[in-house]
Amino acid sequence: MAPLHLGLLATLGAHALALAFTRRASIASITDSEWDAFNATVSGRLRNGEPMLAPCYTRYNGEAQEPDLEQCSVLQKDGGDLTYATGQFGMYVNSQWGACQATGQTCTFGPIRPDILTPILDTCEQGSVPTKYVDAQSVEDVQRTLVFAGENSLRLVIKNTGHDYEGRSSAPDSLALWTHNMQPPIEFNEEFVPEGCSESGGDSITFGAGEQFGRIYDFVEARGYRIVGGSSITVGAAGGWITGGGHSLLTNELGLGVDNVQQLKAVLPNGTHVTANRCQNQDLFFALRGGGGGTFAVITEMTSRVYPKKEMQFVEISFANIGVGAQRRLMDIFVSNGEKWAAEGWGGYIYCFSIGTGIFIGTSLLNYDEAVESMKPLSDFATHLNIGVVNVTTTDSFRAGLQAFVETQEIGIFPGSAWALSSRIVKHDSFAPEKQQELSSILSNFLNVQQELLEPSLQILVLCLTMPAVYSQSMPESDLPGGPGHASISPHWRDGVWQALHFRAYSGSIKDPELVRKIAQNAHDAMNPLRAFTPDSGAYINEADPWEPDYINSFWGQENYERLLRIKREVDPENLLMVRKGVGWDENDGRFSCYPDVDES
Ligand SMILES: Cc1cc2nc3c(=O)[nH]c(=O)nc-3n(C[C@H](O)[C@H](O)[C@H](O)COP(=O)(O)OP(=O)(O)OC[C@H]3O[C@@H](n4cnc5c(N)ncnc54)[C@H](O)[C@@H]3O)c2cc1C
Ligand SMILES: *[C@@H]1O[C@H](CO)[C@@H](O)[C@H](O)[C@H]1NC(C)=O
Ligand SMILES: *[C@@H]1O[C@H](CO)[C@@H](O)[C@H](O)[C@H]1NC(C)=O
Ligand SMILES: *[C@@H]1O[C@H](CO)[C@@H](O)[C@H](O)[C@H]1NC(C)=O
């Protein structure tokens, strides 16, 4: 009983620090002339928010409309190309977050392309797509939008690429700040010295809030460098990725995104533009690196370290139709080699379906022969079952090596694809020899769950070999707790060897709220055995399910959370930036009314 009481006290303590709750006004409370006056202050960049697929429909928000056939044929053709689609304000990569899941109001396609029937048979509804947005292109646009939203108590959303898995970049009846077009030319800085510092933090690049990894990779490669970045070329570097932590194929060797940031510039909720680094505004520097997307300030510019190119070994394998027994043997191989492979620098993804397993990993700590030797357990497995060979590909281009995985992701994401997921960081101690059998069995069971006929979703278990356990052993002192470069991610990350992600993929055309709720509930519940097996671990805020239990401990740990809460009260006393369960969360805020009603136990 005692620990329970202590936990309860800590929770009450946190609530005593809670923020003032401001009731939000509806977008409809602002008159046309007030909108026009505001529009003039943001250089005419105010727009009406509309779901991306709205031009295809004959009925939009309850009214008949003439479909825009030309625009619709572009959407049918290019809507699944994420580089194109993330350039559309009304697009959400996980389409359920563009919908209001609690009511079923949405505007989406089914899984078959082109989808001619849905737009004719169904109607398009606004769902959770913000009603108005500012296509921000300057610091001033960001400042004026924050001040306007604050003065009028509007519900404000920051949207970059719309990749978020938790609906933090959408909300009904809101004004959005769209950062996608904040893409000034990327700059290369040899021996970058952060403002106010006297020492260089190493070679770095500086880019705007809207920059995506594809362009960043191309930029650094052309100059002979590599950078710690995400697996998807369309994820935004300076938005959700960095504010959540940011993992990469290079994390075993070079750390997380937050470990590589040299400097951030950001606009505070009151409109002040500030610079944060290891020498000034360290509180904000701490909060913006792990505290959660859209919570403390709007990042306008980011400077991150780059490293000279290095030869890298990549391995891509798929084992299809190998049966339950062989799948289990494969999982035993993954688990028993987990720590060894991390120490050898292998980062990447193992994705397990009930019918087979795919592997995409890379390392720059081994040469070709060493990589072949390291993969021997997998080649022996393949030879034994006579299912091919394990090929190692050598390249000094990270981007070229990544291409195979980029293509794999593109197959799975199309307009209308919806993804419910849950996350767990798996730490060193779970790989102890006496625990391996149980870990392997729990992970294998993710895929053995009986699929209910009326809840059509595809189950996938992804093991992310992108955790910083190895890097953390040699972290610079300045970035340890108490140092000026300490980041607000939870301490669990620092012992993290893997992150286990459970996905349930379904069609966005499924809109019955009860069915959507069940799918989200199943994705949440499927993680419970692993949660129970790793009681002293956490989850990745960016890839967790929105109902993560004990989220304060999972995402930040109590100590980081208390510092974050203090910073939040200082920079955002009105709680203007508050998107979902997180620092400054208030469950009475109507913006969560579109979330499915999932049981959090
Ligand atoms: C296909 C896919 C692949 C992924 N791969 C990886 C990976 O390899 N590694 C990894 O770590 N994660 C990965 N993620 C998760 C990713 O980090 C999160 O989805 C992240 O939230 C995306 O950030 P965004 O800015 O691109 O998206 P958005 O949905 O636009 O924004 C996400 C959050 O960031 C906030 N935000 C956006 N811009 C700003 C800003 N300028 N200032 C302050 N807050 C801002 C938003 O308010 C929101 O809370 C992946 C996700 C997907 C869908
Ligand atoms: C804002 O002004 C621009 C330029 O005058 C105009 O094109 C745009 O439609 C206006 N936005 C809204 C929402 O009225
Ligand atoms: C491995 O490489 C060989 C020779 O290049 C090729 O024929 C084979 O298809 C590759 N195997 C896989 C699984 O990619
Ligand atoms: C804005 O907020 C910051 C942080 O609380 C504060 O230091 C600054 O003085 C404020 N600026 C204005 C103009 O109120």
Beta pairing, strands 175-178 & 156-159: parallel
CA of 269 to the centre of ligand 4 (A): 9
391, 393, 403: which to mutate for ligand 3, most atoms within 8 A of CB? Answer: 391
Q: How far apart are CA 76 and CA 85, in angstroms?
A: 11
How far, in Å, is the centroid of ligand 4 from the Cα of 270? 6
User: Residue 251's pLDDT is what?
Assistant: 98
Over 70: is that where the pLDDT of 451 sits? no
Q: What are phi and psi of 12, to 5 degrees?
A: -65, -40
Residue 164 Cβ contacting ligand 1 at under 6 Å: yes
Percent of the chain exceeding pLDDT 70 equals: 93
Average pLDDT of span 186-203: 97
Nearest to 497, CA basis, from 473, 536, 530, 470? 470
State yes or no: pLDDT of 364 exceeds 50: yes
Q: Which of 373, 365, 336 is nearest to 470 (CA)?
A: 365
The answer, yes or no, to whether residue 454 has pLDDT greater than 70, is no
* Residues 6+ away with beta carbon under 8 Å from 106: 51, 95, 96, 98, 99, 100, 125, 127, 508, 511
Residue 3 — pLDDT band, cuts 50, 70, 90? Answer: very low
* pLDDT at residue 2 tops 60: no
User: Which ligand has the nearest atom to the CA of 283?
Assistant: 4
Give me the sign of the Cα torsion angle 248, 250, 253, 254: negative
**Which ligand has the shortest distance to the CA of 577?**
1
What pLDDT band is residue 15 in, cutting at 50, 70 and 90? very low
Residue 585 has pLDDT above 60, yes or no: yes
Where is average pLDDT lowest: 187-196, 242-251, 406-415, 458-467?
406-415
* Residue 529: strand, helix, or coil: helix
Output the CA torsion sign for 27, 580, 129, 161: positive
Ligand 2 neighbourhood includes 59 CB (under 6 angstroms): no
Type of residue numbered 458: L
- CATH topology identical between 7-181+566-594 and 312-557: no
Q: What is the mean pLDDT of residues 2-26?
A: 51
Q: 198 is written with which tokens? A: 């006297």
**What is the torsional sign of CA 519, 521, 526, 531?**
positive
Q: What is the mean pLDDT of the chain?
A: 92
For range 347-373, the mean pLDDT: 95
> What pLDDT sits at residue 417?
87
What is the predicted pLDDT for the residue at 38? 98
Contact 267, 139 (CB under 8 A): yes
Q: Residue 18: pLDDT band by 50, 70, 90 thresholds?
A: low
Nearest-CA residue for atom 53 of ligand 1: 163
Q: Is the pLDDT of residue 7 over 60?
A: no
Q: What is the mean pLDDT of residues 18-38?
A: 86
Whether residue 347 is predicted with pLDDT greater than 60 in this model: the reply is: yes
Write out the E strands in 364-516: 392-395, 417-427, 458-464, 496-507
Q: Give strand pairing partners of 63.
A: 60
Cβ atoms 318, 357 nearer than 8 A: yes
If you search the block for the tokens 């930036």, which residue do you land on? 577
Cβ–Cβ under 8 Å, residues 444 and 327: yes
Q: Looking at residue 16, what is its pLDDT? A: 41
The mean per-residue pLDDT over the stretch 237-241 comes to 98
pLDDT per residue as tens digits for the range 106-146: 999 887 778 888 888 899 999 999 999 999 999 999 999 99
d(CA 295, CA 586): 13
What are the boundaries of each domain within the chain?
A: 7-181+566-594, 187-308, 312-557
Contact of 357 with 322, CB cutoff 8 Å:
yes
| pLDDT, tens digit (0-9, with 9 covering 90-100), for 262-307 | 999 999 999 999 999 999 999 999 999 999 999 999 999 999 999 9
Q: Which of the residue ranges 164-173, 363-372, 444-453, 461-470 would you say has the lowest mean pLDDT?
A: 444-453
Q: Which atom of ligand 2 is nearest to the CA of 44?
A: 2
Q: Write down the pLDDT at residue 581.
A: 72
Rounded-to-integer distance, Cα 432 and Cα 427, Å = 10
Query: Range with the lowest mean pLDDT among 197-206, 394-403, 447-456?
Result: 447-456
Decide if 488 contacts 291 (C-beta within 8 A).
yes
Q: Does the domain spanning 7-181+566-594 belong to CATH 3.30.300.130?
A: no
Return the structure tokens found at 589.
């805020």
Does the beta carbon of 175 sit less than 6 angstroms from any atom of ligand 2?
A: no
Q: Is the pLDDT of residue 380 over 70?
A: yes
Structure-model confidence comparison of residues 584 and 81, the more confident one? 81
Evaluate: CB of 268 within 6 angstroms of ligand 4: yes
Quote the ligand 1 centre to 577 CA distance (angstroms).
16
The yes-or-no verdict on residue 11 having pLDDT over 50 is no
Using CA atoms, how far apart are residues 154 and 69, in angstroms rounded to an integer? 34
Ligand at shortest distance from the CA of 392: 3
Q: Which ligand is nearest to the CA of 359?
A: 3
pLDDT of residue 579: 63
Side chain identity, residue 250? L
* Residue 453 confidence (pLDDT): 57
User: Hey, what CATH topology would domain 187-308 get?
Assistant: 3.30.465
Instruction: Give the integer Cα–Cα distance in Å for 159 and 162.
Output: 6
268 Cα: distance to centroid of ligand 4 (angstroms): 8
Longest CA span, the chain: 74
DSSP states along 95-116? GGGTSBTTTTB-----SSSS--
Q: Say yes or no: domain 312-557 is CATH 3.40.462.20.
A: yes
Read off the pLDDT of each residue in 210-231 and give the average, rounded to a whole number: 98
- Write the pLDDT tens digit of every residue in 314-339: 999 999 888 889 999 999 999 999 99
Residue with CA at minimum distance from ligand 2 atom 1: 44
Query: Mutual orientation of helices 323-343 and 436-445 as an angle, nearest 10°?
Result: 130
